[in-house]
Chains A and B, each alone.
Chain A
Amino acid sequence: MVRNNLSLTDFGFADHYVVRNLVGALKLMLEDKATIVYFSYLVFVLLLGVFGPMLAPYPYDKTLYVNGEILRAAPPSLAHPLGTNNIGQDVFSRLLYGARPTVITGLLGGTMIIGIGMSIGITAGYVGGRVDDTLMRFTDIVYGVPLIPFAIVLVSLFGIGFLQSIVIIGALLWRGNARVLRSQVLQIRERPFILASKAAGASRTRIVFKHILPNVAPMAVLFFSLGIGFSILIQATLAFLGVTSPFIPSWGVMVRSAYNSGLMSQMWWWTLPPALMIAFTVLATFMFGRSYENIAGQSNENAFAQAG
Chain B
Amino acid sequence: MSRIRYVLSRSVQTVALLFLILTFLFFFFRMLPGSYLDILAFEGASEASVEALREKWGLNEPLYVQYYRYVINFVTGDVGMSLQYRVPVWEFVRMKIFNSFILVGPAITCSYILGIAVGGYTGSQRGSKSEKYGLIPFIMTGSFPSFITAIIAIIVFAGWLNIVPTSGMFGFDNMYTGDEFAWWRAYFSADFAIHYALPFLTVVARYTYLPALVMRTNVVEVMGQDFFFYHRMTGLPGGKRLRRLINHAILPVVTLYPISMTRAIGGLIVIEMVFNWPGIGYTLVQAVFARDFPVVQFVFFLVAAFVVVSNFVVDILYGYIDPRVSIDSS
Enumerate chain A interface residues (CB-CB to B < 8 A): 141, 144-149, 152-153, 156-157, 229, 233, 236-237, 240-241, 255, 259, 264-266, 268, 271-272, 275-276, 278-279, 282-283, 286-287, 290, 301-302, 304-305, 308
Bound Cα distance from A157 to B31, whole angstroms:
10
| Interface of chain B residues 252 through 296 with chain A (CB within 8 A) | 256, 262-263, 265-267, 269-270, 273-274, 281, 284-285, 288-289, 291, 296
Residues of A within 8 A of B300 (CB): 146, 149
Which of B32, B140, B147, B256 has a CB less than 8 Å from the CB of A240?
A: B147
Q: State which of A236, A259, A265, A271 has its C-beta within 8 Å of the C-beta of B145.
A: A236
> Measured between alpha carbons, how far is A241 from B282 in the docked complex, in Å?
10
Q: By the criterion CB–CB under 8 Å, are A237 and B155 in contact? A: no
Closest chain B residue to A285 by CB distance?
A: B143
Over the window 145-169 of chain B, the binary record of Cβ atoms lying under 8 Å from chain A Cβ atoms (1 yes, 0 no) is 1111101101100111000001000
B285 touches A305 (CB 8 A): no
Q: How far is the CB of A272 from chain B (nearest CB, A)?
A: 7
B6-14, B54-62, B89-97, B211-219 - interface stretch: B211-219
Q: Which residue on B lies nearest to A259, using beta carbons?
A: B151
Instruction: Report yes or no: B217 in contact with A301, Cβ–Cβ below 8 A.
Output: yes
| Residue ID in chain A nearest B274 by CB atoms | A259
B144–A237 contact, CB under 8 A?
no
Please indicate the chain A residues that have their CB under 8 angstroms from the CB of B146 in the complex.
237
Residues A283 and B151 in contact in the complex (CB < 8 Å), given A157-B33, A237-B270, A265-B166: no
In the complex, what's the smallest C-beta–C-beta distance from B128 to chain A, in angstroms?
A: 15
Residues of the B chain whose Cβ atoms lie less than 8 Å from the Cβ of A148: 266-267, 269-270
Contact (A302, B151) CB under 8 Å given A148-B266, A259-B274, A265-B160: no
Query: Is B304 part of the binding interface, using a Cβ–Cβ cutoff of 8 Å?
Result: yes
Instruction: List residues of chain B with CB within 8 A of the CB of A283.
Output: 140, 143-144
Measured as residues with beta carbon below 8 angstroms from the partner, the interface class of chain B is 35 or more
| B303 and A279 contacting across the interface, CB-CB below 8 Å | no
What residues on A are CB-neighbors of B313 within 8 Å? none
B114 within 8 A of A: no
Q: State which residues 206-265 of B face A: CB under 8 Å.
A: 210, 213-214, 216-217, 256, 262-263, 265
Asked if B316 is at the interface of the complex by the 8 Å CB criterion, the answer is no
Complex CA distance for A137 and B181, rounded to whole angstroms:
50
B210 near A305 with CB under 8 A, answer yes
Q: A282 contacts which chain B residues (CB < 8 A)?
A: 143-145
Once bound together, how far apart are the Cα atoms of A276 and B154, in whole Å?
Answer: 14
Residues of B within 8 A of A229 (CB): 143
Known: A278-B145, A279-B145. A146 touches B266 (CB 8 A): yes
Q: What chain A residues lie within 8 Å of B32 (beta carbons)?
A: 153, 156-157
Most buried by B among A229, A240, A283: A240
Residue in A149, A156, A279, A287 whose CB lies within 8 Å of B144: A279
Known contacts A240-B270, A278-B145; 5 further A-B pairs (Cβ under 8 A): A144-B21, A255-B148, A265-B159, A266-B159, A272-B152
